[in-house]
Structure formats: structure tokens, C-alpha cells
Amino acid sequence: MHPQPYIGRFAPTPSGHLHFGSLLAALASYLDARSHAGSWLLRVEDLDQPRCVPGATDHILRTLEAYGMVWDGEVIRQNQRVALYQQVIDNWLDSGLAYYCDCSRQHIAKHGGVYPGTCRNRHLPFAHTHAVRVQAPQHEICFTDRLQGYFGQRLAAEVGDFVVKRRDGVIAYQLAVVIDDIAQGVTDIVRGADLIDSTPRQLWLYQLLKSEPPRYLHIPLVMRQQGEKLSKRLASPPIDTSMAPATLFKAIAALAQEPPADLRNAPVGEQLAWASNNWSPERLPAALQLLESTLPQA
């Protein structure tokens, strides 16, 4: 039996331009795919339209191209797939796996942030202001991350029944990402360690959808000295495309790949070829966070 072809992906949210932290996530996923002679897909997670910045999607695509990271196939945009997500939600509502909820954040906060199942047996009807929650299992959901090792959660006790459609009508990230990864045949997910807590919820949705989950590699987050991660929300500086070779060399080094010094000023294609051929994710520190000041400088 032949092994399944590797399919990876990068899925940015266009709430701003790419910063160095998101470049590292893109680069790690790209190198992991290319080192396995696999496909690297691009998906724009633009469901939360009020958070999307005009022009950000185009800027992200052009930045990736400037850094030599060319994707395979067409770009998928989640805001064009809402009907597909809704169909899954409707099926779960009909079968009793999901239910409508009108609980406020304040109500959930009173229970330590773990949803207590208040609306599970209330049988609320559809309303535009109701969220939809999926029932969480009592047993532990666990996986072995390629870098972080064993990770597990008892969803019912630690999270509770969780939202798959928000009260404002936006499809939740947890559901959309799983449906799209299944549809695109994604076998491997490489992303930031801030999303490792989401993985057990997504693994539960894979079970409900009767699909095989991918392998996971969660890379460390780049943190500011103040303990905040680089992010668009905190106005982390966007990547400068005019400095692509120098910044790419710094990014490869930040991923602990130890590029040779004579690669420092090489074209991005040459740098990516070396990094793909020498990609060793086990060199990454098995830490969830890295201070920006500790990263190698270009």
C-alpha cells in the first residue's frame, strides 16, 4: 500500500498584513510540504468579515510570492463556502448532536469559562441571535504532536459544549477549518502553538464527520519582550517585501535550521531550495513560546 501523498496548507486571516510571526508559520508549513515532495495549499480564512482589512488578502498573496512561497492550485476563500458549513450544522441540529444556545458570555464566565450545558435540553428554536453548540464528549481527546508530544483534553470538563456558529451568525473557526481541511485532503497541519488548545475540539469534529484527522506540528510562537505574541491586533510591523532575502534568511535561522552564512544574501529561491532539502523540524525547541529578542538576527 502506497503512503498517502502529503498535502499541507497555510490559512491566514486577512485582518492585517503578514508580520514576522505569521511569516514563520507560513515558512514552516511550506518547508514541511516541500521537504516531503508534497502540495502546499493556500486558504484565506475570511469568515469574520468585520475583522477583515480591505486589501489585506491581496497583500498577503503578494508577500508570499515575493518570498518565493508559491502555492499549488487555486486559493480557497472561506466566505464563499458558508452554505457548505451551514449544511453540516443543519444535519447536526436535526440529529441532536448540536443545539441552539442563547447564553451570554457573562453566564459562561460564572462557570469558570467552561460551558455548563445550560441550553442542551432546552430545545430552543432557531433565532438569528442564537449560537449553535455541538455536544462535547466526556472522554479525553488526545493526539501526539510532532514537536510538542502528547496533548489531551477532556472537552466536557475543560471546555464544555462548544460553539460552531456564533450568535452574530458567523461560522466558528473550529468547524470551518475542519470541513475545509477534509475537503482539501489535508494530511499535515503546521501552525503556531497558540492553536494547540483548539486541536482536541477539531479532532472531535473529525470524529463526528467520520474523517481521518491530519498529523500536527505546532511551532513556537514569537513573543515580544513584554510577553505578548506578535500579532496584527497589536500592530506588529508588516513584512517588508523589499527586504525579502535578508528577512527570509532570518526566518530560516529563527526556525533553528542553521542556514550557512553564504546563503545570507542569496535569492529567495536558492534559500528555499536549501531549506527544503535540509528541513529538520526536530531542531525546533519544544517550547510554546520564544522571545523575539532571542531570535537570530539577519
Q: Residue positions in the annotated binding site for L-glutamate?
A: 9-13, 45, 173, 191
- Written as one letter, the residue type at 38 is G
- Compute how many other C-beta atoms are within 10 angstroms of the C-beta atom of residue 213: 20
Q: Helix (H, G, I), strand (E, B), or coil: what is residue 146?
A: coil
Summarize the annotated binding site for Zn(2+) as residue ranges. Answer: 101, 103, 115, 119
CA–CA dist 145, 218 (Å, integer):
7
Instruction: List residues forming the annotated binding site for ATP.
Output: 232
Q: In what order do the strands lie in the sheet with 98-101?
A: 98-101, 131-134, 162-165
Which of 75-110 are b and which e, b meaning 16 or more Cβ less than 10 Å from the residue's Cβ?
ebebeebeeebeebbeebbeeeebbbbebeeeebee
Annotated binding site: 9-13, 45, 101, 103, 115, 119, 173, 191, 232
CA 292, 293, 295, 297 dihedral sign is positive
